[in-house]
Chains A and B, each alone.
Chain A
Amino acid sequence: DSGVTQTPKHLITATGQRVTLRCSPRSGDLSVYWYQQSLDQGLQFLIQYYNGEERAKGNILERFSAQQFPDLHSELNLSSLELGDSALYFCASSVGGLAGGSETQYFGPGTRLLVL
C-alpha cells in the first residue's frame, strides 16, 4: 500500500459526459501528479500540482483540467468524453517536487475509466 488513495476504482460513462477523479496523496506529500495509461499511448504524464499550484504540464487535453485543494487532495476533471479517453488514470505523490527530479513518486491504485 503506497498511501495514495484514488476514488472511484472504476467508472463507466458515456461519450460527451463529464467525470471527476479524486486523489488523496500520502500524508505530508505536497506534490500530486496525474498520469494516463492507455494501450496505444502507454503511460503519459498529464499534470503536476505542488501545494495547490500548477507546477508542470504534460500531454493534457484542453478538455481535461485538474486542481489541488488546501487539504492537498487533487481532482482530475475530464469533460466531453470520447471513446479514446478510456484508460487507467493514476495519481502519484511526492514529498516536494519543486526542483528535484530525483524524488520518488508513490502511485495510487488508479481509476479505470471506460467510455461507451
Chain B
Amino acid sequence: AQSVTQLGSHVSVSEGALVLLRCNYSSSVPPYLFWYVQYPNQGLQLLLKYTSAATLVKGINGFEAEFKKSETSFHLTKPSAHMSDAAEYFCAVSASGRNKLIFGTGTLLAVQP
C-alpha cells in the first residue's frame, strides 16, 4: 500500500524567508511523487513531479523538491517566499501501473508581510 505523510498542517513564514514543506512517502514499489498547489476556491495545479529521472526536481514559481530514497522524503522548498505563495500544498504518490493519486492531508502555507 502507498501513502504520504505531510508534517505540519499549517506553516507560517515571513515574506522573503525559506519555505520548507515536508512530505514523507511509503511505497513498496518505486514511486512517482507530485506536489500540487490549491489556491482558495480553485482546483489543484501541478507544481512539480518526480518520475525517477533527476532526484532534484524544479517546478513552477521557483519551487523545487528533492527525492531522497534513503529518507523516503520528497520535501518542497522555495528560497524566498512571496505573498502570492499563500495556498494549500498537497503531496501525492502514485505507482507504475496505478494511475490514482494518493494525497497527503495538505499543508496550509501562510506568508506574513
Contact = CB atoms under 8 A, between A and B. Distances in A.
A and B pair up: yes
Of the four ranges (under 10, 10 to 19, 20 to 34, 35 or more), the interface on chain A belongs to: 20 to 34
A101 B106 contact: no
A86 interface: no
Contacts, number: 66
A55 B102 CA distance: 16
Contacts of B105: 42
Nearest to B104: A42
Contact of B43 (A31, A100, A108): A108
Interface in A55-97: 55-56, 58, 90, 92, 94, 97
B43 A33 contact: no
21 contacts: A2-B45, A33-B101, A42-B105, A43-B106, A45-B102, A55-B99, A56-B99, A99-B97, A101-B32, A101-B98, A101-B99, A102-B51, A102-B52, A102-B96, A103-B99, A105-B46, A105-B99, A105-B101, A106-B46, A107-B36, A108-B43
Interface of B: 32, 34, 36, 42-46, 49, 51-52, 90, 94-106
3 closest A-B pairs (Cβ-Cβ)? A43-B103, A107-B43, A45-B100
